Amino acid sequence: MKKAFYVFALFIAALNLRPIITSVASMMGAIQSELGISALTASLLTTLPVLCMGLFAPVATTLSQRFGLERTLCIALLLITVATIMRGINESVTILLVTALAGGIGISFVGPLLSSFIKKYFPTSPGVVSIYSVSMTIGAALASGLTIPIYTQSENNLPLAMSCWAALGIVALIVWIALIRQKQHSGNKTRRLRLPLGNIKAIQFTLFFGFMASMFYALTAWISPIALSFGYSSQYAAMLLTVFTLIQVPIALLVPGIVNRTGNPKLLLVLCSVSELIGLVLLLLSAPMLPAVLFLGIGAGGLFPLALMLPIMETRTAEEAGTWSAMSQMGGYILGAFGPLFIGWMFDLTGQFYASIIAMLVIVMLMIGVQFSMNLGKKDKEGSYQ
């Protein structure tokens, strides 16, 4: 029964990690129109949280050591929820930017600490990370898909459409407060935790996370514009982005379980990257975009949970898993935030997307090179990966 409660706590926490970003992304046109802001200012509403997810990730381990893992997660969820609620105050670009910053900081704490949570409560089952990744995808899809209908049904009430996602945070806080009441304070002040900056394997994980995140955010931002440039309708272009998102859900569920059974993550890492490679080659050959997007979505859907699993599998304690995750997410999200900007810059430079697609091909090939260089542990009889 306790395990089921911990799984639900993990699910409801991860559900809150993307709505504050994707609700804005889906409403970008309306936000620009109503607030009269430039495209550059509007882009900060999605870029700021992703940058914060990288810059503030290392702080999570320090806070966890002082206040305890569960309490720090609850504080971070409270920060995300309050930031989302504040968007209901009024139609203000200042409010949106401040809450993007605050929400991004909260997300930066939750991300690595959920890896610690999995290592602590499911030490021999890193495949539980599938709950984490799938819940994030569901939260992102709900906010991106339903914010516009909520905005329309509420007679174009922008603050309501932006703030209604705080309901997910309120539910999460109820669950995590109940969890905290069951646990003793677990802070550890005797030994200062440090990021594994000199560890070659941790550096490889950080590079991989960075390449993976760059691809994910670049594809999320540019799949629809690429489709439009290839002559597809706006409706079909939007549908392709939906397909890219939805195909990730079953893949994110399957891949961690396969790795957990086989104990061989490297094969899945390379296969998922090759899937992205095939999708990009199909785009370069001007093949129909649907199969290309399916290959890209399959690759992205498998790579993200694998990136979350690696620090859990290759460390011995929850604290170590947190520091390794913080380091990989710090570098990874900072690189990931610049992925869409780089692809857009390539388009501005050349006036077409072929150069951008070639740039993404290079990123994937570099990612495969990092994956081949990893010396990953094997699963032993006790279920440990050491």
d(CA 74, CA 68): 10
Q: Which amino acid is at 10?
A: L
pLDDT digits over 122-148, tens only?
887 878 888 998 899 899 888 877 888
- Give the rounded percent of residues in the chain with a pLDDT score beyond 90: 42
Q: Which amino acid is at 305?
A: P
d(CA 378, CA 384): 8
pLDDT digits over 274-285, tens only?
999 999 999 999
Q: Is the pLDDT of residue 188 over 60?
A: no
d(CA 231, CA 237): 9
Average confidence (pLDDT) over 250-267: 87
Average confidence (pLDDT) over 354-378: 90
Rounded to the nearest integer, the mean pLDDT of the chain is 87
Q: Is the pLDDT of residue 183 over 80?
A: no
- 221 versus 228: the higher-pLDDT residue is 228
Please report which confidence band the pLDDT of residue 192 belongs to, taking 50, 70 and 90 as the band edges.
low
Please report which confidence band the pLDDT of residue 381 belongs to, taking 50, 70 and 90 as the band edges.
very low
- 1 versus 158: the higher-pLDDT residue is 158
- 121 versus 47: the higher-pLDDT residue is 121
Check if the beta carbon of residue 96 is closer than 8 Å to that of residue 44. Answer: no
- Find the length of the chain: 386
d(CA 351, CA 345): 10
Q: Is the pLDDT of residue 23 over 50?
A: yes
Q: Is the pLDDT of residue 167 over 80?
A: yes
| pTM (predicted TM-score) | 0.83
Element (H, E) at 288: none
Q: What pLDDT does residue 150 have? A: 92
Indicate the range of 61-70, 153-162, 317-326, 340-349 predicted with least confidence.
340-349
Q: What pLDDT does residue 385 have? A: 46
Q: What's the alpha-carbon Rg for the chain, to the nearest Å?
A: 20
pLDDT digits over 333-347, tens only?
888 888 877 877 787
Please report which confidence band the pLDDT of residue 166 belongs to, taking 50, 70 and 90 as the band edges.
very high
Q: What pLDDT does residue 50 have? A: 84
Q: Is the pLDDT of residue 1 over 70?
A: no
- 376 versus 105: the higher-pLDDT residue is 105
Please report which confidence band the pLDDT of residue 368 belongs to, taking 50, 70 and 90 as the band edges.
very high
Check if the beta carbon of residue 58 is closer than 8 Å to that of residue 94. Answer: no
Closest to 65 (Cα-Cα) out of 191, 184, 180, 182: 191
Check if the beta carbon of residue 80 is closer than 8 Å to that of residue 100. Answer: no
Q: What pLDDT does residue 184 have? A: 56
**72 by DSSP, 3-state: which?**
helix
Average confidence (pLDDT) over 324-338: 88
d(CA 213, CA 167): 28
Around Cβ 187, how many Cβ atoms within 10 Å?
A: 15
Closest to 140 (Cα-Cα) out of 43, 298, 14: 14
Q: Is the pLDDT of residue 190 over 80?
A: no
